[in-house]
Amino acid sequence: MSRDVSNSRRRYSVALGGVALYLLLDAVAQLLPPHYSPVSQAESDLAVGPFGFIMTLNFLNRGLLSLEFVFALLASVRLEGQKTSKLRAGLILFGVWSFGALLLAVFPTDVPPTPVSWHGAIHLVVAVLVFLGGGFGALALSLNLRGSPYLEGARNVALPLAVVCVLLCLAELLAPFSAPRFVAHYGGLLERLFLGSVLLWIAATSAYMLRRSPMPASTQSGTAQSG
């Protein structure tokens, strides 16, 4: 059982390291030519250009760190003796966020005024699904962290951030229709705020899980009987 605890902690640590690496690679890609605007242009534009491979690697990093987090979360729920079936909806949604990031690396976007290509169209559709999966997946997973003090504590950390993720997700997806002028000038910033909120949700939840050690269900039963 202690091996399972160590394995989940390792996965949380990998997820945290992945978030740190994501921020670093994103900053490096932003500083290199052709110097796309972080305020008005989408982050995906950083994957197009002479140094686009850096952002491509970062998409892969985002997908992998998210999967590591999901596996760690599943292990934590099992260690607490809780059913993982209650996480099914959240896992499916967050799986779309995770695997979608891998697809974004394969199908690059088109930087305006370049006409929309087949791979650019796929990128756009996948991006919409990724946003929905990230925002609503974080919320669904957070709502179902129940059944033990350890998971309830994680829920108290994760849920407020998940609500922010959903609000920013809706703003990101609806703004092009309701406020096109705003998106033209600040669309890149809005997108980065949303992506940052999901990464913060992963990082904050992982940090909590690492600070607080779970008590396996068998240990909890033994403690209750001895009391």
Q: In this predicted structure, what is the pLDDT of residue 2? A: 75
Please, are residues 210 and 15 in contact by the beta-carbon 8 Å criterion? no
Name the token pair of 17: 């390291």
Rounded to whole angstroms, the Cα distance separating 147 from 82 reads 7
Segments in the chain below pLDDT 50: 217-227
Is-above-0.75 flag for pTM? yes
Polymer length of the chain: 227
Asked if 79 and 5 touch (Cβ cutoff 8 Å), the reply is yes
Task: Compute φ and ψ for 191, nearest 5 degrees.
Answer: -65, -45
HSE-up of residue 179 (Cα within 13 Å, Cβ side): 12
pLDDT at 219: 45
At residue 212, the pLDDT reads: 84
What is the per-residue pLDDT across 131-178, written as a single tens digit (0 to 9) for each? 999 999 999 999 999 999 999 999 999 999 999 999 999 999 999 999
Look at residue 4 in the predicted model and tell me its pLDDT.
85
